[in-house]
Amino acid sequence: MTRITVAGAAGRMGNAIIRAIMHDGGGALVAGLEAPGHRSAGKSLAEVCGVADAPGLVFDDIAQAMAQSDVLIDFTSPTASIANLGWCAEAGKACVIGTTGLDLSHDQILRALAAKTPVVFAPNMSVGMNLMFKLVGQIAQVLGPNYALEVMEAHHDQKKDAPSGTAVRLLKELCAARGWDYDAVCQHGRCGMVGARPQDQIGVAVIRGGDIVGDHTVFFIGQGERIELTHRAHSRDTFAGGAVRAALWLHGKPAGLYDMQDVLGLK
């Protein structure tokens, strides 16, 4: 049985992942991890997550949190995820990372560390969105260059990064399909006398508010018609189930960087 520690255990995704491990079965919950000195350190996971039957404690030290674990599931912050992965790489422990908002330097470090230990890194762990990652490039190719591409995402008011990691990935899939450079074509918002829309542009709109779990729409806009492909997450349980599935899949795999397309067999 794959033994799992959850980093960011007291957070929104940490809670959902702990519920998924406890109620969906398949893995064994060992411990939670929070930052050094965190208010939850030393408390039971049951208390911190409100899951009555959850075993284990929340630690603020990764060595203690991982002592009995095979895999770390980490939905925290970019700096925390990279630091936690650094520890896992040295200790030879597998790591599933769902954190978004990583910059280029985080990305480079992550790739170097994944050469030492198995890592699943994905901005969205839901089955539906991973299918959408595959479809958007195909649709863009079939429709051709006369269809404008635009991306819109909406999330809750506590989200720190924008655009979402999922939107960034959708944009990269669209750019790959068109042979475009991401930084050159992505237009983040429009304001003022922006002029006519160039053909080689992808507009990106970001909405924040309330308790929206995560909505993403890709628009394919032609003359006389348009396609809007939308994914709406109804609950964080869809991401949490994917993260646990990834942890079970990853345990025992060779060192390397994998994503949910590997886990779901969509490659």
Ligand X SMILES: O=C(O)C1=N[C@H](C(=O)O)C[C@H](O)C1
From the annotation, which residues make up the binding site for NADP(+)? 39
- CB count in 10 Å sphere of residue 244: 27
- In whole angstroms, the minimum distance from the beta carbon of 91 to ligand X comes to 27
Summarize the annotated binding site for (S)-2,3,4,5-tetrahydrodipicolinate as residue ranges.
156, 165-166
Nearer to ligand X, 30 or 125 (CB): 125
Half-sphere exposure of 104 (CA within 13 A, CB side): 1
Contact 92, 69 (CB under 8 A): no
Contact 246, 17 (CB under 8 A): no
Summarize the annotated binding site for NAD(+) as residue ranges.
8-13, 34, 98-100, 122-125
Residue 155 interacting partner from ligand X, ligand NDP, none (CB closer than 5 to 8 Å by kind): ligand X
Binding mask 174-213 for ligand X (x = CB under 6 A): ----------------------------------------
Residue 220 interacting partner from ligand NDP, ligand X, none (CB closer than 5 to 8 Å by kind): none
Residue 88 interacting partner from ligand X, ligand NDP, none (CB closer than 5 to 8 Å by kind): none
Handedness of CA 1, 6, 88, 69 (dihedral sign): negative
Angle CA 217–222–228, to nearest 5: 20
Binding residue (CB under 6 A) for ligand X from 165, 203, 241, 242: 165
User: Active-site residues: which are they?
Assistant: 155, 159
Q: What residue ranges bind ligand NDP (CB under 6 A)?
A: 7-8, 10-14, 33-35, 38, 75-77, 80, 98-101, 122-125, 161, 165, 239
- In whole angstroms, the minimum distance from the beta carbon of 221 to ligand X comes to 23
| Region of 14-22, 57-65, 84-92, 164-172 interacting with ligand X (CB under 6 A) | 164-172
Angle CA 62–76–217, to nearest 5: 155
Contact 175, 181 (CB under 8 A): yes
With contacts defined by CB under 6 A, how many residues of the chain interact with ligand X?
9
Centroid of chain to Cα 155: 14
Residue 159 binds ligand X, judged by CB under 6 A:
yes
Report the alpha-carbon distance of residue 79 to residue 132 in Å, rounded.
28
| Region of 28-36, 109-117, 163-171, 182-190 interacting with ligand X (CB under 6 A) | 163-171
Residue 123 binds ligand X, judged by CB under 6 A:
yes
- Closest residue by Cα to residue 247 from 62, 98, 65, 136: 98
Half-sphere exposure of 116 (CA within 13 A, CB side): 13
Contact 242, 121 (CB under 8 A): no
- In whole angstroms, the minimum distance from the beta carbon of 133 to ligand X comes to 11
- Closest residue by Cα to residue 24 from 238, 204, 224, 196: 238
Binding residue (CB under 6 A) for ligand X from 76, 81, 84, 124: 124
- In whole angstroms, the minimum distance from the beta carbon of 142 to ligand NDP comes to 28
DSSP string, 249-267: HHTTPPSEEE-HHHHHT--
- In whole angstroms, the minimum distance from the beta carbon of 90 to ligand NDP comes to 16
Residue ranges in contact with ligand X by CB under 6 A: 100, 123-124, 155, 159, 164-166, 214
